[in-house]
Structure 1
Amino acid sequence: MILRSAREHFAAHGYERTTIRAVAADAEIDPSMVMRYFGSKEQLFDAALTVDLQLPDLTTVPPGELPELMVRHFLHRWEHAPVDDALLMLLRSAVTNEKAAGRLHEVFARQVAPALVTALGPETAARAGGVFSAQLLGLAVSRYLIRLPAVTALDTEDVVRTLAPAIAATLGIAR
């Protein structure tokens, strides 16, 4: 219950504006209990940062299908994630908190990069993986955090149709 409350607060307000008191109030416990279990706001934040991108197995995906598959996967992940999703919390917090930025980098380095190596080989993954990640994170920030009207107005098919070719170009994949 504490971690759920913490994730909701970190996702909604970021690290800087989340307080132990607010987390405790939502969890219907005394703030001292949060401190007892987690020790500090930083340790609570650490505990709340577990992210699994749930990437599909890309070993059998033809390279030409990879961009669309990944755009669809991330759209689905964002649009069907629970309110207390740790990835949303990380994105919102990474802008102002170095620890969150480091953890977000780690998530992409440990989950996305190996998936790209599996699908495209180490050279392509090393050359284009960062820009590929930036494209997906840019979509997430503009659609789910900033909520740019021109981006939120797009349905899933519009986003896929628009972004997949750009990702294919980034990865050097002929479509």
Structure 2
Amino acid sequence: MTPRAEGAASTRGRGRRPGGVDTRAAIVDAARRSFATHGYDKASLRGIAREAGVDPALVHHYFDGKPALFAETLSMPVDPSRLVERIVAGGPEGVGRRVIETFLSVWEPGERRDALVALVRSAMTSEDAARVLREFLGREVFGRVAGAFGSPDVQLRGGLVASQIVGLVVMRYVLRMPGIAEASPEELVERLAPVIEHHLLAPAPAVVAEGVYTTGPAE
């Protein structure tokens, strides 16, 4: 073997990983570790690329931003950013229906439901998993939906919507609560859409006395 060949052999395998079949999997594995260690908010695509040993451009080549990469680590079937865009694109009218219809269209099929149940159960038993899910839902999903219509108290409104959706997941898919578990998707939409819409669009209550609230400004 010539010195040049020996040098090439000695350096092979070091440095950044070229693009290829295993590169995408390496990025997903690195992302899963990074989200678990740093949380969703503090994990960065550049840091994930460094962890995976790839050029940051490859992360953008395979994934359309951090939400899409996070969705891949959870085996989510769709990019959540696209779902949020679809929900808010129709404006405030009917937004409650779109939230519930979109959620059910993604997670109601049985082949997708197991991943959702595993995710929720993990968040209920692990603080690290709960933090990642909490930050993701707050920033990329319900926070964006709540902030799309210019209402105040975006964090609270998004959290209230999240409480309805996560509660539905627990009662329908995890605990299999009678009534909720057997309800048709259409019935769930009819019953929950007004609640979601109220959380997103209703005027913020004003405190007029301790423990007493109104839906308008205090006089």
Name the TM-score, length of structure 2 as normaliser.
0.52
Aligned twin of 2:21: none
1:142 is displaced (CA, Å) by 0.7
Equivalent of 1:91 in 120, 135, 148 = 120
Matched, 1:102 2:131: yes
Would you say the 8 A contact 1:95–1:101 is kept in 2? yes
Aligned twin of 2:145: 115
Alpha-carbon distance between aligned partners in 1 of 2:202 and 2:127, rounded to the nearest angstrom:
34
Which protein has greater RCO, CA pairs closer than 8 Å, 6+ apart? 1
What amino acid is aligned across from residue 63 of structure 1 in structure 2?
Answer: P
Query: What secondary structure sits across from 2:96 in the alignment?
Result: helix
Aligned twin of 1:168: 197
What amino acid is aligned across from residue 94 of structure 2 in structure 1?
Answer: E
Would you say the 8 A contact 1:135–1:167 is kept in 2? yes
Alpha-carbon distance between aligned partners in 2 of 1:84 and 1:139, rounded to the nearest angstrom:
13
Would you say the 8 A contact 2:74–2:119 is kept in 1? yes
Alpha-carbon distance between aligned partners in 1 of 2:34 and 2:89, rounded to the nearest angstrom:
39
Alpha-carbon distance between aligned partners in 2 of 1:50 and 1:83, rounded to the nearest angstrom:
9
Runs of 4+ in 1 over 6 A off after TM superposition: none
Q: Structure 2: give runs of 5+ residues left out of the alignment.
A: 1-28, 37-71, 204-219
Q: Structure 1: give runs of 5+ residues left out of the alignment.
A: 1-37
Would you say the 8 A contact 2:123–2:133 is kept in 1? yes
Alpha-carbon distance between aligned partners in 1 of 2:128 and 2:113, rounded to the nearest angstrom:
19
Aligned twin of 1:126: 155
Name whichever structure is richer in helix by fraction: 1
What amino acid is aligned across from residue 83 of structure 2 in structure 1?
Answer: L
1:131 is displaced (CA, Å) by 0.6
Q: Deviations over 1:131-175 (max 9, x none)?
A: 11111111111111111121011101110111111112222349x
Q: Per the alignment, do residues 81 and 158 of structure 1 end up closer, same or farther by CA in structure 2, a change over 3 Å counting?
A: same
Equivalent of 2:104 in 75, 88, 101 = 75
RMSD of the TM alignment (CA)? 3.1
Q: Deviations over 1:109-133 (max 9, x none)?
A: 2221123312x12625234111111
| Rg larger in structure | 2
Alpha-carbon distance between aligned partners in 2 of 1:48 and 1:84, rounded to the nearest angstrom:
16
Greater shift, 122-131 or 145-154, is seen at 122-131
Would you say the 8 A contact 1:63–1:173 is kept in 2? no
What amino acid is aligned across from residue 92 of structure 2 in structure 1?
Answer: P
- Percent sequence identity is 31
Aligned twin of 2:42: none
Q: Per the alignment, do residues 99 and 156 of structure 1 end up closer, same or farther by CA in structure 2, a change over 3 Å counting?
A: same
Count of residues paired in the alignment: 134
What amino acid is aligned across from residue 74 of structure 1 in structure 2?
Answer: F
Would you say the 8 A contact 1:90–1:101 is kept in 2? no
Aligned twin of 2:172: 143
Aligned twin of 1:14: none
